[in-house]
Structure 1
Amino acid sequence: MTAGATLPLLGQNLSALETWAIQHGQPAFRGRQIHDGLYAKGARSLDQLTVLPKAWRQQLQADPPKGASDWLGRSRELQRSVARDGTTKLLLATADGLSLEAVGIPAPGRLTVCVSSQVGCPMACRFCATGKGGLQRSLAVHEIVDQVLSVREVMGERPSHVVFMGMGEPLLNVDAVLDAIGCLCEDLGMAQRQITVSTVGVPHTLPTLAERALQRLGRAQFTLAVSLHAPNQSLRENLIPTARAYPIEALLDDCRRYVAITGRRVSFEYILLGGLNDQTHHATALARLLRGFQSHVNLIPYNPIEEEDFKRPSPATVEAFRQALRASRTAVSVRASRGLDADAACGQLRRRHQAVAQAGG
């Protein structure tokens, strides 16, 4: 956001907040106090910024920014789902009455926050609950950053990693995603290498992402994760309808250009769907497709959703696939499944909440 913009203050950096304070008749250090209250203390309202003069707080509360409910820009929690393993999914309400998901995934020595970049998603991947409802809009910077703060507040722990793997396609909201990464690094003290941006692929955007990251962030050290989910074009089209307009070879060519611009390897995500794309011959074909690539494959056993009858592969099948990739000298890991007893798949909690609301429950 630009300095002094009359938009929610969350998402603005220290310099912008100092300028904003001065423009509102206050000394610059009031901006520093707001910055500390927002990012270090996680303030949810002006009332919680008690270091600010009471009269000024009352004046601001009487005149909120146009198009926003208040100055800070924090969300409201609608629903919470906590799995036995501690994975916590939050359904958050935006100022205009929409809802989005954020997930906190705890592990020994780390807390990963999975954030959304859009309300809904236009990509319509068959295995994803989010895409079943289409796209409502992209999220603003403050709505992305708020997800990290909300998970931190609920779980009582400082997040160590952030992954843009929630609702939406990040490359259809590039500017807000990059500005949010800048905020997470500059204002919350995270490192770019602790952040992952996941995409199913949007034509001609990966080189642009690399160039804009260098322009906006000064470097592109976050991890790019590209969702392949198939070793050939026909199977990929079956799973990802938008792949018809973006052939797999064109996607890989753009990945190579991204690597050339940034010097960073690409991680490829591959959801294993029982009996469909999880056989060893699929692994061999995938290794052949990625040969010569500076890359890593992250295998993801499928989390079932009600709308599709895809099956979750057996542990033996997952291990055989992994071993086949390793035998082909392809770097590979298997993502541990988390929150399976609590609407684990992306978009499920939101869809359940919408169904209850529509039924009047």
Structure 2
Amino acid sequence: MTTDSGNLRKIIHIDMDAFYASVEQRDNPEYKGKPIVVGGLPQGRGGVVATASYEARKFGIRSAMPSKKAQQLCPHAIFVLPRFAVYKEVSVKIREIFSRYTDLIEPLSLDEAYLDVTDDKLGIGSAIEIATQIRNAIKSELNLTASAGVSINKFVAKTASDINKPDGLTFIGPSKIESFMENLPVEKFFGVGKVTAEKMKRLNIHTGADLKKLTEEQLSLHFGKIGRFFYKIVRGIDERPVQPNRETKSLGAEDTFSHDLTSIEEMFEQLDKIALTVYNRLQRYQLKGRTITLKIKYSDFKQITRNHSFASGISDLSTIAETAKELLSKTFSEDQKIRLLGISLSNFGEIAPSTNRFFDTSQLELF
């Protein structure tokens, strides 16, 4: 939270509002004000939702949801295939706006980034003013909106950016962090997905204040390594620096299921959904990996991984899905119950400079 000189950091988290859908509405005036779903089409076997416009979200449509379910929730929704080349081009322009103020930029994806403006290039000094100028520039130059969170560390800034969406700015100052974290519902904590939230509520943990009552040892006992992270973060402690040159080592997605999977058909269906998410992310960052890894967690929490490597990089959907299914088939037995599946790609080799900074494997229920 502090610099080497002991000063508090000034961190901004910028998150574009419904990025893909907003770009589609900007470029296609007939889509404005309508429920737009960007992702796989619901016809045939269907795909998954990459993002949805705010008009579509009113119907309960969310990212990573099967497109068929999205269509059931909103039959008049307009489904649009992603145009990743266009989104990347817009992302480059957004990054250029960021770079006017700082070189300490850590992109998390095409539409989201941390900025450390402790010592900004223009000598403005105020992180709130810089966030305001960035949002105004995005609006006037790109005809898009972004939300921003401003605080002294990455976790609080990222959480704050989600409070007044869309087109909002939220500042959480040092004196407000403790009460902010105590009042935060556990679902809003990074690392707390649907399954973890349900487990917390069974333990009577509903807010940050409830979480704060547990010792570090108790949190580690209940939640493993991430329990130590929860212990620090609920106290507003996050020393992670903004890392402008973080290299991608793996990229993927995983999902924890609300009920254990028992049939191979059900498992294959989930792998198809996860593979499509991985494929979309690879397209987003223009990456090809040589190694596909399948992650399996059983109902008894035993976890295994299996992988297969190729002579050259791959990124096509069919290879990802079929390889994952083949790896699963080799381990499958009818008496096993599976609670989590994940697919990731690694061994990228040459990575374009503009795409070498993105996050590692992420869980579908978190993003």
Whether the TM-score (by the shorter chain) exceeds 0.5 is: no
User: Quick one: higher RCO (CA 8 Å, sep 6+), 1 or 2?
Assistant: 2
Structure in which a larger fraction of residues adopt strand: 2
TM-score by length of 2: 0.29
What TM-score do you get using the length of structure 1 for normalisation? Answer: 0.29
